Chains A and B, each alone.
Chain A
Amino acid sequence: MDKKGQMKIQQMAFVLVAMMVFFAMVALVYFSIRMSGLESSAVSLEEEKAKELVKKISSSAEFAFGVTDCPNCIDLDKVLILSERKSYEGFWQLDYLEVERIYPYGEGICDRTNYPDCKSIKIIDSENYGSAVSAFVSLCRWESSKDGYFKCEVGRIIASGEGLRNE
C-alpha cells in the first residue's frame, strides 16, 4: 500500500475518533443537563406532594377533630399525643411538619408541661428541609375551664416535602 493510501486511512481514523469524542461530549453535556432537570423535577414533585398533603392532612385520622362535623379542624389534644409517638416516623414522607397556633399568641414548643399555652407542636423535625408550605386550620381542644367545652383557635399547619438523600 502506498504512503498516500496509509495517510488517508489515518485521516479517516482520526476523523472517526474525533467524531466519537464529539458525540461522547455532547452526550455528557446532555446527560448532565438532564440529570439536573431530573433532580429538580423530583424536588418539585415532592413539593407538590407536600402542598397537596397539607391541604388534606387536617382530615386524616391522626389529625381530624371528629367530635363535631368541622372541616379543616385539627384535634390539638390528639396531635400533642401524636408528637410523642415514634411509630409514625416516615409515615407522611415529609421532612418537616408543624402545627402552629396563630391566635391567641403563645410561646415555645408545646409539651405536656406548657400545653395549651404554647406556640407550636412539631411532629416531624428533620435538620435539613426544603421550602415549606402552610395552610390555615382551626385548632380544637378540650378546655377544662367553665365546666369544660371544646375550644377552637386559629392556627396553621406547616409542611415540607422529603428532600433527596444520597443513600
Chain B
Amino acid sequence: MTFIKNNMNNRGFEMSFAWMFAIIVGAVVIFLAIYFTTQFIGTEREIQNTEAGKQIGILLNPVETSLEDAKIAKITTPLETRIYNDCLIKSGQSFGSQKIAVATASGVGEKWVEPGTASSFYNKYVFSDSVVQGKEFIVFSKPFRFPFKVADLLFVWDLGDKYCFVTPPQWMEEELDDLSPEGIKVVGNLEDCETLDIKVCFSTVSNCNIDVNMNAQSVKKNKGTTTVYFEDSLIYGAIFAEPDLYECQVKRLMSRTSELSALYYSKSSYVGSVGCGSSALHGNLLALSNSTSHFEKSFDIILSSFISNELGTQNRRLSCKLF
C-alpha cells in the first residue's frame, strides 16, 4: 500500500497557483478577444452593408430617364449581394419612402447576416422582389405619365432570374427588342420558354407564372390568387414586383400625382393671368388631385385613368400647353 502511494506521488503533477491563475485569466482574455473580434467584424459588416445600400440608391440616379422612353443599366457588385427593397407609407408623410438595404455574403462566419441600416429615398420607386440576390443586377427605367410625367420607375431583377414573355403587345416587343435587356426573352409560344423560366403570358394560356390581361389592365400572380392593376409603364412594375410592394409603390406614386396636379393647377392659374390660358384643365386637375389623394388599392388607378386620359387630351388641344 505504501509502495502504491509513493508511486502515485512521484508521477503526479502539482499545479501551482500561478499556473492555475495564468490559465484562467488567459482563457478569459482569449474569450474576450474572440468575443470583441466577432462583435467588431459584425459591426464592420453592418457599416459596409449600410454604405453599400446608400451607394446603390445613389447609383440608381443616373439610370433615371431624361428624354428617353426607357433606359437600361447593369449594376455589378464584387460579392454576392442581397438587395432588400421595401416601401413605407407613414401617416403624415406626403410621399412615403423607398427603403433600400443591402447584405453582402461573407466567407468569414455566417454567410449572410441581417442587412445594414436601410437608406430612405422619397423620390425613388423601385419595383422588384422584396429580396433580390446576385452579383449582377439589371435596372430598367421608364417614366410614368399620368398624363404628365410623375416619376421614373425602376424595375430591378438579378441575372439569375430569367423571364420569358409570351406574346407581349407589339409596342412592348419592339421596346424589349430595341433594349435587349438581359434576362428577358420574348417568344411566340409557351413551349419556347425554358422549364425554369418565369413565364409571363399576355394571352389566355395555362401554366404561366404571371398572367397579364391587357384589356382589364390587370396582372395575376401567385397562381392567380393576387391581382393588381396597372396603367402606362406600371405594367412592368406589376410583372416584376411583389404584389404588396407594388400596391405600396402605386399608392406613393398616386400621392405624388395628387401633389403634381395641385402644382399644375396653381401654375395654370398663374400663367393664365399672363396670357397662357389653360383654365379648361382646372376641373380635371382638381378631380385628378382629389381622386389620387384618396387612393387605396391599385384598382383605383383604373378609375383615375379616365380623368387622366381626358386631361391629356385637353392639354394637347391647348395652344399654350400646360405640360
Contact = CB atoms under 8 A, between A and B. Distances in A.
B267 A81 contact: yes
Contact of B323 (A12, A67, A81): A67
A59 to B, nearest CB: 4
A77 B271 contact: yes
Contacts of A85: 259, 262-263, 266
Contacts of A8: 18
A91 B256 CA distance: 11
A70 B67 CA distance: 7
Given A5-B17, A88-B259, A91-B95, A80 B270 contact: yes
B18 A9 contact: yes
B151 interface: yes
B150 A61 contact: yes
A16 B54 CA distance: 42
Interface in B103-140: 120-123
A91 B95 CA distance: 8
Contacts of A77: 267, 270-271
Given A77-B271, A81-B267, A148-B276, A12 B62 contact: no
A139 B47 CA distance: 41
Contacts of B57: 49
Interface in B35-49: 36, 47
B38 to A, nearest CB: 14
Contacts of A20: 29
A64 interface: yes
Given A45-B55, A52-B61, A81 B263 contact: yes
A70 B262 CA distance: 23
A126 interface: no
Interface in B59-81: 61-62, 64-67
B17 A1 contact: yes
B263 A62 contact: yes
B321 interface: yes
B58 interface: yes
B84 to A, nearest CB: 18
B228 to A, nearest CB: 23
Contact of B18 (A12, A27, A82, A144): A12
Which size class do A's interface residues fall under?
35 or more
Contacts of A60: 123, 151
A21 B301 CA distance: 65
B173 interface: no
Contacts of B94: 87-88, 91
Contacts of A70: 67
A88 B274 CA distance: 26
Interface residues on B, range: 35 or more
B58 A16 contact: no
A87 B62 CA distance: 25
Contacts of A56: 61-62, 64, 66
B320 interface: yes
B263 A45 contact: no
A16 B16 contact: no
Contact of A48 (B36, B58, B95): B58
Interface string A7-24: 011001100100110000
A38 B117 CA distance: 14
Given A1-B17, A52-B62, A56-B64, A142 B271 contact: yes
Contacts of B266: 81, 84-85
B67 A61 contact: no
A90 interface: yes
B260 A62 contact: yes
B149 interface: yes
A134 interface: no
Interface in B1-49: 16-18, 21-22, 25, 29, 36, 47
B47 A38 contact: yes
B122 A78 contact: no
Given A1-B17, A66-B148, A148-B320, A45 B54 contact: yes
A53 interface: yes
B276 A142 contact: yes
Contacts of A112: 270
A69 interface: yes
Closest 5 CB pairs of A and B: A52-B61, A59-B66, A144-B275, A144-B274, A142-B276
Given A61-B148, A61-B256, A84-B266, 12 more contacts: A8-B18, A38-B47, A49-B58, A56-B64, A62-B263, A66-B149, A66-B323, A70-B67, A71-B67, A77-B270, A85-B259, A148-B275
